[in-house]
DNA sequence: GCGATCAGTT
DNA sequence: CACAACTGATCGC
C-alpha cells in the first residue's frame, strides 16, 4: 500500500467535478470498453478521499468533531480537518483540482444546512438528516439509473426475512449504528466523516436526494475538460490466436502440438495438467465442460452424509467467480467442475490450503506470493503466473486487474471485467482504506455488479485503530520503555505471522536501529518480500540481534520466561510486542524482567471500514467469502442497506477525489505478462503494450 | 516423507 | 472469550 501517504490527508470537496463527470458520462456507465485516452489529455476526473483515517474510537471521533465545530461551512472529512484547512496540497502531490485548472474555478463549497434534527435513541434510531444546498450541482445518475440500480439489486445471501421496502423513503436508509454512539452531533453537520457514526448526516449531506436529482442540470457549469477518467490507457487487445502464440514457445517442446488448438476453451485439454485434467473424460466432454460456466447453482451444498475419507471437500459457491471459470483461494476442493484458472489472493495458510506440488492448473498471484509459493510449496513454476498491482491481464476475454489489498505483503484484490461488461471485485482478505477510493479502476467502472467481500470483522464490535496509529503507539511505548530502563540491556521480541504484521517490527527496528533476527522459516518468507534495505537490519544469528521476530503464539508470559532463559546472560529484560486485533484497551504488562505490550493491529477491515467500502462501491450484489461457522458454506451476511438503497449510485459520485499523481500512478496498465510460455498460451494471454503516461 | 485432519495456542 | 493464522500431533498411504 502507499504507506507513504499514511497520515497525509488531502482533499475534499469536488462535488462539481464529479458531478459533471457523471452527468456527462452517465450514458457510458454501461460501456464495457475501456476508455482510451492519451496521456497528455487527462480526461478523467476522479475523486475520492485521499485522506486516510482509521475507524478510530468514538472518543477520538467526537474530539475531531468538536474541534471543527467552528468550521461550519465546509464539508470535509472530519479526520482530515487539519489538512483540509490547508490551502495547498502536500508537497509533491498535485491535486486533481489543480490539474484541471479550468474546472477549479467552478468549485463551490457546499454548505450543509440542517433540515431536521432528530436525536437517536438506542433502540429506535432516527437519522439526522441534513440537506445540502445543491445549487449548481448536477445529478450523477438519472432516476432511471437509480431506480434500476436499486430494484435490481439482489443478494443471494441476503436475509430473506428482511422485508424489502416497497415504498422507499426519499432518504436513503441508514446503516445500523454502533450502540455506543447514539448521539449524533447535529451542530457539526459541516463535518463529514464517512467512517463514523456521523455518516448518517454525511450520507445525506453528500448524497443527492431523489428530489435533488431531478433538478435540471446546467450543462455549462462545472464542465471539466474531458470528464472521462483517464482510464486504462490505450488498451490494445492484441488478440493472439493460438497459432500465433506458438511463436513464443520452444518448438522443441512436445506440448506444442497440444497447443495447436483452435479455441481458447480447448486449452484445458493441455497435458500440462495431467493430474487434474486427465480425469475428465474424453476431449469432447472436456470441451463442453470448459464452455460451461459454473454458477452457484452448480455448486449445491451436499447433504450431511459423511464425506468418504480422502475425498475432497465440496467447494462453496463463493470460491467461484460468477460468470467465469475462475476460482479464488479454493485449492482444497479437488477437481472443481469447469474451473480452468485459479487465483491465490495471498500467502496465508487458510487461503493456500490444499495447494501442493501436485496441483496442475494455472494459478495467478502477485510476484511476492509467487516467490513464497516457489519457496514453500514446490509447485512447478509453469503453473505460476504473476500479476502485479495495478496491472491488467486478459484471460478468456476477461480483464483481470490486480489491486493492492492492504493486507499482508503480496495480498491482492482481483477486479474482473467480463466481456459482457459485468464487473466483479474479489477482495480476498483486505483492509479497506480511503486510498482505495481513489483507484481508477473503480472510477472507470462506476457500477460494480458483484462484490466478493472479506467479512472477517463484520460485527459492530470490531472497531480498531488505523495501522499507522497502532504503529505510532508501538513506537512511543517502546521509547518510553527505553527511557525508563536506560541502563538495561533489552531484548526486544515481536510477534508476527509468517507473513503479515511486519510493519510493527520493521518500524520499531528502524526507529531504534535494532538488529533483527527471526526463525529460519520466517526468515525465508521475509526474504521473499524483497524488503528494501533488509540486509542492513536482518541478522542470521540471534545472538547478534536485539529484536527477535517470533510467532505470535510465543508472545505469552510463560513462553517468554522460557525464551528469556536462552538469552539471560546477554540481556536484563525482555520487551515483547504483541500485535493483534484483540489488544484493544489492554494495558501493557510491565514486569521486572518480562514486559508485554499489546498493540491493537489488524490486517482486516473494521466494521466501519467495511461499511464505508461497500457504500462507496454500492455493488448490486455482495457475497461474503468468510464462513461464520465451521461449515464452509455458511458465510457472513452483509447488511443490505449498505448497498441496496434508493438514492445516489455510490460514493463514487460523492465529493472525494484522488490526487492526480496517485490517480495516474495507479491507473492500471495492461500487463506484458511474464508468464510461463505454456501458461501464456494456455490462458490465452493477450500481449499488450504498456503505455507510460507520466503527467 | 507427504498430505489430510484435528486439536491447541495467542 | 471473541479471531486469524499458525503449530504440532496423529494417521494413512
Pick out the nucleotide with least CA–C1' distance to A603. Answer: C4
Q: Mean pLDDT over residues A609-622, rounded?
A: 95
Asked whether strand B has any atom less than 7 Å from the CB of A121, the reply is no
- Strand C: list positions under 7 Å from protein Cβ: 2-7
Asked whether strand B has any atom less than 7 Å from the CB of A332, the reply is yes
Res A210 pLDDT > 80: no
Give the Cα separation of A55 and A180 in Å (integer): 14
- How sure is the predictor about A664, in pLDDT bands with cuts at 50, 70 and 90? low
Asked whether strand C has any atom less than 7 Å from the CB of A408, the reply is yes
Question: Can you give the distance from the CA of residue A218 to the C1' of nucleotide C2 in angstroms?
Answer: 53
For the CA atoms of A587, A592, A594, A595, what is the dihedral angle to 10 degrees? 20
Asked whether strand C has any atom less than 7 Å from the CB of A557, the reply is no
Left, alpha or beta for A12 (phi > 0: left; psi -120 to 50: alpha)? left
Provide the 3-class DSSP secondary structure of residue A496: strand
Res A50 pLDDT > 60: no
Query: Whats the size of chain A, residue-wise?
Result: 695
Asked whether strand B has any atom less than 7 Å from the CB of A417, the reply is no
Asked whether strand C has any atom less than 7 Å from the CB of A535, the reply is no
* HEC string for A505-518: HHHHHHHHCCCEEE
Pick out the nucleotide with least CA–C1' distance to A461. Answer: C2
Question: Can you give the distance from the CA of residue A553 to the C1' of nucleotide B7 in angstroms?
Answer: 15
pLDDT tens-digit series, residues A290-319: 334 444 444 555 555 567 766 788 999 999
Q: CB of A451 within 8 A of CB of A621?
A: yes
- How sure is the predictor about A79, in pLDDT bands with cuts at 50, 70 and 90? very low
Q: Where are the beta strands (DSSP E) in A556-606?
A: 573-580, 594-600
- Half-sphere exposure at residue A100, Cβ-oriented, CA atoms within 13 angstroms: 32
Asked whether strand C has any atom less than 7 Å from the CB of A329, the reply is no
Asked whether strand B has any atom less than 7 Å from the CB of A117, the reply is no
Question: Can you give the distance from the CA of residue A276 to the C1' of nucleotide B10 in angstroms?
Answer: 38
Asked whether strand B has any atom less than 7 Å from the CB of A357, the reply is yes
Average pLDDT of chain A, as a whole number: 63
Give the Cα separation of A24 and A174 in Å (integer): 29
Asked whether strand B has any atom less than 7 Å from the CB of A356, the reply is yes
Asked whether strand C has any atom less than 7 Å from the CB of A581, the reply is yes
Report how far apart, in Å, the C-alpha atoms of A590 and of each of A233, A341, A477, A561, A594 are.
55, 51, 11, 13, 7
Q: CB of A373 within 8 A of CB of A379?
A: yes
**Closest residue (CA to C1') to nucleotide C13 in the complex:** A310
Residues 524-553 of A with CB under 7 A from strand B: 552-553
**Closest residue (CA to C1') to nucleotide B8 in the complex:** A553
Pick A467-601's CATH classification: 3.40.50.12650, 3.40.50.1170, 3.30.413.10, 3.30.565.10: 3.40.50.12650
Which range has the worst mean pLDDT, A94-108, A447-461, A647-661? A94-108
Question: Can you give the distance from the CA of residue A45 to the C1' of nucleotide B9 in angstroms?
Answer: 50
Which range has the worst mean pLDDT, A524-528, A625-629, A671-675? A671-675
Residue with cell 494471454: A685
Q: Mean pLDDT over residues A656-669, rounded?
A: 58
Asked whether strand C has any atom less than 7 Å from the CB of A629, the reply is no
Question: Can you give the distance from the CA of residue A662 to the C1' of nucleotide B7 in angstroms?
Answer: 47
Asked whether strand C has any atom less than 7 Å from the CB of A500, the reply is yes
Q: CB of A371 within 8 A of CB of A384?
A: no
pLDDT tens-digit series, residues A342-368: 999 999 999 999 999 999 999 999 999
- How sure is the predictor about A330, in pLDDT bands with cuts at 50, 70 and 90? very high
Q: CB of A505 within 8 A of CB of A601?
A: no
Phi (first) and psi of residue A331, to 5 degrees: -110, -5
Pick out the nucleotide with least CA–C1' distance to A454. Answer: C4
Cell of A656: 472525494
pLDDT attached to residue A482: 97
- Strand B: list positions under 7 Å from protein Cβ: 2-5, 8-10
DSSP state letters, A167-227? S--SSPPPPP--TT-----GGGTTEE-TTSTTHHHHHHHHS--HHHHHSPP-TTTTPPS--
pLDDT tens-digit series, residues A80-134: 222 222 233 333 333 333 333 322 222 222 222 233 233 333 333 333 333 322 3
Q: What ranges in A423-501 are assigned the alpha helix state H? A: 440-444, 467-484
A268 closest CA partner among A276, A388, A145: A276
Res A584 pLDDT > 70: yes
Asked whether strand B has any atom less than 7 Å from the CB of A578, the reply is yes
Res A443 pLDDT > 60: yes
Res A325 pLDDT > 90: yes
Res A410 pLDDT > 60: yes
Report how far apart, in Å, the C-alpha atoms of A376 and of each of A36, A273, A681 are.
41, 21, 26
- How sure is the predictor about A524, in pLDDT bands with cuts at 50, 70 and 90? very high
Q: What percent of chain A has pLDDT over 90?
A: 44
**Closest residue (CA to C1') to nucleotide C2 in the complex:** A582
Long-range contacts of A252-258 (CB under 8 A, 24+ apart): A253/A678, A255/A678
pLDDT attached to residue A556: 92
**Closest residue (CA to C1') to nucleotide B9 in the complex:** A553
A545 closest CA partner among A474, A471, A490: A490
More confident residue, A170 or A664: A664
> Is the C-alpha dihedral spanning A428, A434, A436, A441 positive or negative?
positive
Residue A635 β-bridge partners: A627
Give the Cα separation of A334 and A307 in Å (integer): 13
Where are the domain boundaries for CATH 3.60.15.10 in chain A?
317-461+608-642
Q: CB of A663 within 8 A of CB of A230?
A: yes
Residues 93-112 of A with CB under 7 A from strand C: none
More confident residue, A206 or A544: A544
Q: Mean pLDDT over residues A575-584, rounded?
A: 88
Give the Cα separation of A691 and A234 in Å (integer): 7
* Burial status of residue A661 (CB atoms within 10 A of its CB: 0-12, 13-18, 19 or more): middle
CATH number, domain A317-461+608-642? 3.60.15.10
Residue with cell 503516461: A693
**Closest residue (CA to C1') to nucleotide B3 in the complex:** A356
Cell of A50: 485521499
pLDDT attached to residue A669: 59
Which range has the worst mean pLDDT, A147-156, A438-447, A518-527? A147-156
Question: Can you give the distance from the CA of residue A318 to the C1' of nucleotide B8 in angstroms?
Answer: 29
- Half-sphere exposure at residue A337, Cβ-oriented, CA atoms within 13 angstroms: 16
Question: Can you give the distance from the CA of residue A413 to the C1' of nucleotide C8 in angstroms?
Answer: 32
pLDDT tens-digit series, residues A231-272: 333 333 322 233 223 233 333 333 322 322 222 222 222 323
Q: What is the CA radius of gyration of chain A?
A: 26
Q: Where are the beta strands (DSSP E) in A476-572?
A: 490-496, 516-518, 547-551
Residue A595 β-bridge partners: A575
pLDDT tens-digit series, residues A132-180: 223 222 222 333 333 333 333 333 333 333 333 322 222 222 222 222 2
Pick out the nucleotide with least CA–C1' distance to A553. Answer: B10
Give the Cα separation of A290 and A159 in Å (integer): 33
pLDDT attached to residue A27: 35
Q: Where are the beta strands (DSSP E) in A191-331?
A: 191-192, 326-328
Give the Cα separation of A285 and A299 in Å (integer): 19
Question: Can you give the distance from the CA of residue A52 to the C1' of nucleotide B8 in angstroms?
Answer: 38
Give the Cα separation of A470 and A477 in Å (integer): 11
> For residue A351, what is the DSSP state?
H
pLDDT attached to residue A651: 58
Give the Cα separation of A306 and A2 in Å (integer): 47
- How sure is the predictor about A583, in pLDDT bands with cuts at 50, 70 and 90? confident
Q: Mean pLDDT over residues A631-651, rounded?
A: 83
pLDDT attached to residue A307: 72
A12 closest CA partner among A69, A59, A51: A51
Question: Can you give the distance from the CA of residue A576 to the C1' of nucleotide B7 in angstroms?
Answer: 27
> For residue A311, what is the DSSP state?
S
- How sure is the predictor about A547, in pLDDT bands with cuts at 50, 70 and 90? very high
More confident residue, A638 or A293: A638
Where are the domain boundaries for CATH 3.40.50.12650 in chain A?
467-601
More confident residue, A562 or A4: A562
**Closest residue (CA to C1') to nucleotide B10 in the complex:** A553
Question: Can you give the distance from the CA of residue A377 to the C1' of nucleotide B3 in angstroms?
Answer: 12
Asked whether strand C has any atom less than 7 Å from the CB of A429, the reply is yes
Amino acid at each position: 500500500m502507499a504507506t507513504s501517504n499514511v497520515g497525509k490527508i488531502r482533499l475534499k470537496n469536488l462535488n462539481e467535478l464529479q458531478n459533471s463527470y457523471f452527468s456527462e458520462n452517465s450514458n457510458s456507465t454501461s460501456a464495457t470498453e475501456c476508455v482510451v485516452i492519451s496521456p497528455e489529455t487527462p480526461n478523467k476526473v476522479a475523486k475520492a478521499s485521499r485522506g486516510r483515517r482509521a475507524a478510530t474510537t468514538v472518543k477520538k471521533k467526537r474530539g475531531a468533531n468538536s474541534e471543527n465545530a467552528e468550521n461550519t461551512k465546509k464539508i470535509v472529512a472530519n479526520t482530515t480537518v487539519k489538512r483540509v484547512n490547508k490551502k495547498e496540497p502536500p508537497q509533491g502531490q498535485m491535486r486533481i483540482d489543480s490539474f484541471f485548472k479550468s474546472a477549479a474555478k467552478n468549485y463551490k463549497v457546499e454548505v450543509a444546512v440542517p433540515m431536521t434534527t432528530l436525536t437517536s435513541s438506542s433502540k429506535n434510531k432516527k437519522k439526522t438528516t441534513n440537506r445540502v444546498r445543491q445549487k449548481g450541482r448536477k445529478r450523477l445518475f438519472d432516476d432511471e439509473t437509480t431506480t434500476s440500480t436499486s430494484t435490481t439489486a439482489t443478494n443471494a445471501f441476503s436475509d430473506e426475512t428482511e422485508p424489502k421496502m416497497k415504498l422507499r423513503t426519499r432518504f436513503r436508509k441508514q446503516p445500523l449504528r454502533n450502540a455506543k454512539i447514539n448521539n449524533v452531533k447535529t451542530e457539526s453537520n459541516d463535518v463529514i466523516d464517512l467512517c463514523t457514526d456521523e455518516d448518517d448526516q454525511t450520507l445525506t449531506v453528500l448524497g443527492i436526494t431523489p428530489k435533488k436529482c431531478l433538478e435540471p442540470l446546467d450543462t455549462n457549469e462545472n464542465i471539466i475538460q474531458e470528464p472521462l477518467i483517464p482510464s486504462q490507457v490505450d488498451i490494445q487487445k492484441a488478440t493472439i490466436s493460438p497459432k500465433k502464440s506458438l511463436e513464443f514457445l520452444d518448438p522443441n517442446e512436445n506440448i506444442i502440438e497440444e497447443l495447436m488448438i483452435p479455441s481458447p476453451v480447448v486449452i484445458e485439454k493441455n497435458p500440462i495438467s495431467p493430474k487434474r485434467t486427465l480425469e475428465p473424460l474424453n476431449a469432447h466432454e472436456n470441451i463442453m465442460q470448459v464452455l460451461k460456466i459454473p454458477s452457484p447453482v452448480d455448486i449445491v451444498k451436499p447433504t450431511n452424509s459423511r464425506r468418504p475419507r480422502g475425498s475432497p471437500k465440496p467447494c462453496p459457491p463463493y470460491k467461484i467467480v460468477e460468470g467465469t471459470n475462475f476460482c479464488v483461494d479454493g485449492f482444497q476442493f479437488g477437481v472443481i467442475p469447469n474451473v480452468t484458472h485459479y487465483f491465490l489472493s495471498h500467502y496465508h495458510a487458510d487461503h493456500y490450503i490444499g495447494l501442493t506440488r501436485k496441483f496442475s492448473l494455472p494459478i495467478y498471484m502477485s510476484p511476492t506470493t509467487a516467490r513464497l509459493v516457489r519457496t514453500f510449496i514446490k509447485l512447478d513454476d509453469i503453473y505460476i503466473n504473476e500479476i502485479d498491482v495495478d496491472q491488467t491481464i486478459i484471460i478468456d476475454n476477461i480483464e483481470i486487474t490486480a489491486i493492492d489489498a492492504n493486507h499482508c505483503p503480496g495480498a491482492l484484490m482481483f477486479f474482473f471485467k467480463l466481456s459482457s461488461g459485468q464487473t466483479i471485485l474479489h477482495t480476498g482478505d483486505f483492509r479497506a482504506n480511503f486510498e482505495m477510493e481513489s483507484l481508477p479502476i473503480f472510477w472507470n467502472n462506476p457500477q460494480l455488479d458483484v462484490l466478493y467481500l472479506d467479512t472477517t470483522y463484520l460485527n459492530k464490535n470490531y472497531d480498531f485503530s488505523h495501522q499507522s496509529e497502532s504503529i505510532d503507539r508501538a513506537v512511543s511505548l517502546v521509547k518510553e520503555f527505553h527511557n525508563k530502563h536506560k541502563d538495561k540491556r533489552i531484548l526486544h521480541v515481536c510477534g508476527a505471522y509468517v507473513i503479515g504484521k511486519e510493519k510493527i517490527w520493521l518500524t520499531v527496528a528502524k526507529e531504534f536501529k535494532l538488529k533483527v533476527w527471526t526463525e529460519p522459516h520466517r526468515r525465508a518468507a521475509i526474504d521473499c518480500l524483497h524488503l528494501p534495505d533488509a540486509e542492513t537490519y536482518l541478522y542470521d544469528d540471534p545472538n547478534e540481534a536485539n529484536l527477535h521476530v517470533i510467532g505470535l503464539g510465543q508472545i505469552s508470559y510463560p513462553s517468554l520466561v522460557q525464551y528469556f532463559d536462552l538469552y539471560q546472560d546477554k540481556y536484563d529484560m525482555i520487551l515483547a510486542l504483541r500485535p493483534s486485533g484483540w489488544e484493544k484497551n489492554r494495558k501493557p504488562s510491565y514486569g521486572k524482567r518480562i514486559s508485554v505490550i499489546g498493540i491493537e493491529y489488524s490486517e482486516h477491515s473494521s466494521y466501519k471500514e467495511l461499511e464505508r467500502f461497500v457504500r462507496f462501491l454500492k455493488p448490486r450484489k455482495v457475497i461474503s467469502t468468510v464462513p461464520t461457522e465451521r461449515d464452509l458454506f455458511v458465510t457472513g451476511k452483509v447488511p443490505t442497506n449498505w448497498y441496496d438503497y434508493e438514492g445516489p449510485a455510490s460514493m463514487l459520485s460523492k465529493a472525494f477525489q484522488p490526487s492526480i499523481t496517485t490517480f495516474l500512478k495507479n491507473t492500471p496498465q495492461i500487463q506484458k505478462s511474464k508468464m510461463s510460455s505454456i501458461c501464456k498460451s494456455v490462458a490465452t494471454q493477450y500481449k499488450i503494450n504498456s503505455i507510460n503516461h507520466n503527467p
